[in-house]
Amino acid sequence: MKIIRYSKNPLLTKENVPFGVNSIFNPGAVKYNGKYILLCRVEMPIGRSSFVIAESADGYNFKVSSIPVLTPEDHKDFYDYVNWGIEDARITQIENKFYITYTGYSKYQPIVMLAETSNFADFKIHGPISEPSNKDCALFPEKIDGYYWKVDRPSAENRRDIWISKSADLVHWGGYKVLLEPEKGTWETDKIGSSSNPVRTKKGWLMLYHGVRSFGTGSIYKLGVVLLDLEKPWIVKGKSKEPILSPDKVYERIGDVNNVIFSNGWIIEENGDVKIYYSGGDTNVCLAETNVEYLISLCK
């Protein structure tokens, strides 16, 4: 098994959105009531992002909601932290609720926001769960050692590492540790960040991440995969040495931001098949398929 791009990529472009947008991209993904749900970022004509739902019975053919389901204006008490847009949702089911971690963007720079929903129509917004500058947050789907856990990507001077922390209530966090650092002099040399919510496998927590190498003229975003210890999730058991998906097709090479493969959502089927939803060039929604065993075999 390899990572196989869907032959009809991209699944969605702005032509599939029933209202005027610049782009649709970076979907969070989850199965709900037997349906595939993508919570996609739409950049509105003014240049600020909101979220729409795209829904599908088969994971390939999606229909986009007629209006955004979550906007900066919905944030009332927290508007100052999201008034430049909300971006890049990651969805984690914990018991019978869906928790959404996403980027709030404002003059204060990126910050991690938390919301929850039971039906993808009504959202309870908890507000910021980080200080700036921080993004790429993903929650673990169950308690470990009595705590909820998250990964995120704070920006420190010259450093873009993935950190892990824990919480008793999903809102107040502590116990911060560095989880993963960019491997210098490789495809991920400049920065890394989570690309999916971690999923339990027999061998450990499996998670996609993105790595970035910057050049004078821009950056290249690629995907990797990492395996974390089940009981001690701050321990890395292995990771892919090479990227698992790199910009290659025209719809990944050329877009609002060239040479980007960015993912923040995947679905693991009961038989171990994996659907990685991703975007090419910050401009569309695409799909690549693989399976859990193959991803684990890459984590050395």
Residues that bind ligand BMA (CB under 6 A): 26, 87-88, 221, 257, 260, 262, 282
CB-nearer residue toward ligand BMA: 88 or 252: 88
State in angstroms the smallest separation of the CB of 33 from ligand BMA: 28
The torsion defined by the Cα of 287, 291, 296 and 300, in degrees rounded to 10, comes to -60
C-alpha closest to that of 213 among 189, 193, 194, 180: 189
State in angstroms the smallest separation of the CB of 273 from ligand BMA: 25
Q: Is 219 exposed, middle or buried (0-12, 13-18, 19+ CB in 10 A)?
A: middle
* DSSP output for 157-178: TTB--EEEEEESSSSSEEEEEE
State in angstroms the smallest separation of the CB of 110 from ligand BMA: 8
CB-nearer residue toward ligand BMA: 87 or 188: 87
State in angstroms the smallest separation of the CB of 269 from ligand BMA: 26
State in angstroms the smallest separation of the CB of 56 from ligand BMA: 22
DSSP 131: P
CB-nearer residue toward ligand BMA: 234 or 251: 251
Taking the C-alpha atoms of residue 226 and residue 201, their distance in angstroms, rounded to an integer, is 12
State in angstroms the smallest separation of the CB of 282 from ligand BMA: 5
CB-nearer residue toward ligand BMA: 87 or 148: 87
Taking the C-alpha atoms of residue 98 and residue 171, their distance in angstroms, rounded to an integer, is 15
Strands 162-167 and 173-180: antiparallel
Q: How far apart are the first and last CA of the chain?
A: 17
Other beta carbons less than 10 A from residue 159's beta carbon: 12
CB-nearer residue toward ligand BMA: 198 or 247: 247
CB-nearer residue toward ligand BMA: 87 or 233: 87
